[in-house]
Structure 1
Amino acid sequence: MPAPMAVLAKGVRGAARYLGSVMGADAYTRYLEHHQAMGHRSAPLTEREFWRDRTDRQDANPQGRCC
């Protein structure tokens, strides 16, 4: 049977991953996975370019969001 602290730590890591996903913190990682899966021949955007493009698109097309 796992130690209680190990179970707690696993739960906290899972919750952190979930909240990060909801907040969009893993968007660049998901973009890279999608880029590779679709077999694009061009190089993917750098992380800085990705976030700049995402922010620009959100500013140009505002949708319901908290901030």
Structure 2
Amino acid sequence: MAHYKHHLGAATPENPEIELLRLELAEMKEKYEAIVEENKKLKAKLAQYEPPQEEKRAE
């Protein structure tokens, strides 16, 4: 049993479940990065239509 536990801690790409989780994680990271990029673009677009807060207060 101890030998098995030791093996579990090591990187075991032959374990299909671990491999599946790795792929899922990579996919999630990609989606997250895409969302972050889209968010930046949307914020930039929004900034074109909305005056900065400082200008609003100065009025």
TM-score after normalising by structure 2 = 0.41
Larger radius of gyration: 2
Higher relative contact order by CA 8 Å / sep ≥ 6: 1 or 2? 1
